[in-house]
Structures are given as C-alpha cells and as structure tokens.
Amino acid sequence: MKGVKFLLQEGADPNLGTMLGCAPVKFAEDDGYRDVVEVLKRASATSAARRKDSTTGSAPFVSFLERQAVARAAEEALLAELEAEKAAAAALKKTKKRSKEERKT
C-alpha cells in the first residue's frame, strides 16, 4: 500500500492502462486488494479533475503491476507443470504396479 500511495504522490496516473488496456485498479481487484482499489478509485476521480500530462510518472506504477502479473502467470505455469509431473509420476507408478502384479500371475 505504501508503494501505491508513493507512486500516486509522485504523479503516477491511476487511469493509465497497460498496452493491453488493463488499468491498475483491475489488477488490484483481481488480486483482492480492496484497500488499494479504494485508493486508486479516489485517486482516479481526483486525477480526472486535475489531469495534467497523462504519462508523467505513470510508467513505474504500470510497470510494477505488469511485473506482478507476469510473476503471477509464471507461478501459475510452474504450479500447473508440477501438477502434470505429479500426475505423470502417479500414472507411471500405477503402470509399474500393474506390470509387477501381472508378472506374479
């Protein structure tokens, strides 16, 4: 939260989205940061009322959120890969067990 407030105080535009059009408030909502959502919504209303240059100071804020999104996606991909490896190991174990049982009979 301190980082969000700092970036807003330094002039980050809370309305500036990523290249894909996602605004910072969307990332905060998706991740469940209700307090950040409220701060961004208040800042957004204030920013719209006194908008200067829409790019000044915004890059660090968007870049931070984009890095978080990339890290989250990478983590999800790793978890999916681990689950696939667990499933493959379980299938191999079952196959070996069946093969061993068949040799006994």
Model confidence pLDDT, tens digit, residues 19-65:
677 778 888 888 888 888 888 888 876 655 444 444 445 556 666 77
Q: Where are the beta strands (DSSP E) in 23-98?
A: none
* Cβ atoms of 68 and 24 closer than 8 Å: no
Q: What is the pTM of this model?
A: 0.42
Sign of the CA dihedral running 87, 89, 92, 98: negative
pLDDT category at 86 given cuts 50, 70, 90 is: very high
